[in-house]
Amino acid sequence: MEQAFVNESEPLVINQFAREQLLAGAKWAKFLSIMGFIFCGLITVFAFFAGSIFSSMNKLSTYSNPEHVYNPISGVFGFFMAFIYLAMAILYFFPTLYLFRYADKLKIALQHDDQLNMESAFHNLTRMFRFVGVLTIVVFSFYLLLILVVALVALAR
């Protein structure tokens, strides 16, 4: 069986097919990042109105059911939900920004055969994947901890 040896003195060559595929991927990355920015904006707007939305939902249930007592904790719940949505928007913003920078730098690098922009593009892609990977581990750990706590509470009864 033959082994392929890589000669480190020869630079990587990006042929026309690879260039076209990278440019197509960069266009999709830019589209997805712009949609991500719009989504972050919508989440942020919703976060600022979450307190009044949840508070008004409690008031509406009081009007429709006179026996329902107004719960002042709904204001705290609305603030908590606003905080959660704002945190989600902030966490979603960074991978979106890295994806946008990747698409922008990659397009410039391929158009002008610029090595520095190519390195910057792949650095931003790496940062995006690292951020999403760490966030996935944190969320998965939180879910695991939550399942463990629920199981322990259920066993304690």
Asked whether residue 99 is domain-assigned, the answer is: yes
Nearest to 110 by CA among 97, 120, 99, 95: 120
Asked whether residue 102 is domain-assigned, the answer is: yes
Asked whether residue 6 is domain-assigned, the answer is: no
Tell me how many domains the chain contains: 1
pLDDT at 8 over 70: no
Asked whether residue 4 is domain-assigned, the answer is: no
Asked whether residue 5 is domain-assigned, the answer is: no
Asked whether residue 7 is domain-assigned, the answer is: no
Domain that holds residue 137: 16-156
pLDDT in tens, 122-145: 999 999 999 999 999 999 999 999
Asked whether residue 1 is domain-assigned, the answer is: no
Cβ-based burial of 78 (10 A; exposed 0-12, middle 13-18, buried ≥19): buried
Asked whether residue 118 is domain-assigned, the answer is: yes
pLDDT in tens, 97-123: 999 999 999 999 999 999 999 999 999
